[in-house]
Structure 1
Amino acid sequence: MKVQREEIQQRLSFIDRTIDHAARACHLDNGVPTELKHYVDELGERATQAQQALQSRDAGRIRASVEDLARTSDHAQRKLRPSDGTNYQLKSAVILTHIEVSALRYQLG
């Protein structure tokens, strides 16, 4: 379990960094749709909750928090549009977050 916990921690740390990149890109671009900004902010909150769940060592709480994070990631990615003018940094950070969260969700089963 310790190795798995360390792997989860590493993945969550990477997810935190990608969310930070998305948040910075979001706040530097006044043209980002309000709803997308909301989901990026919510991703940060959900990632914090997942980190707290990991510290609790409660497997059910960890899975539930990752599920919440995954749902929010799904919503954020659906708000991306190829031609909406959203900057590349934001799009790539949201997509990478989604990929990593999905992989973590799969890893937790």
Structure 2
Amino acid sequence: MPVTVDQIRAVARELPRTSEHLIRDQVKFRVGQIVYAAITPDETLLGFGFPKEEREALVAAEPDKFLLPIPSDMRFNWVRARLAALDEDEMTELIIEAWRMCVPKKISALVPLTR
């Protein structure tokens, strides 16, 4: 079963300082003004914060699961994943790690990586 928007929402809503927004038909989760996760309008792709220096290796290791960001997003710490290829545990880890990139370390320490 592919990961659903509701499953992503359930994880993101539990993370401190997170707010959800609908922008141009995309569900986006952010801390302040920083978007750390976004779902495409057709609900097939999840974009999420990820270190730029590691994304090429991630995509190369699992090209059926992960994609580089669109060209205009290449300047950001961002990568995309196919929802149909993710399981719930992997999605949870990706969302929490993306969120951690946006919050202070003392806030990040309040949330364990696994649930």
Q: Answer 1 or 2: higher relative contact order, Cα 8 Å, separation at least 6.
A: 1
Q: Which has the higher strand share?
A: 2
Q: Which has the higher helix share?
A: 1
Q: TM (normalized to structure 1)?
A: 0.33
Q: TM (normalized to structure 2)?
A: 0.32
Greater C-alpha radius of gyration: 1
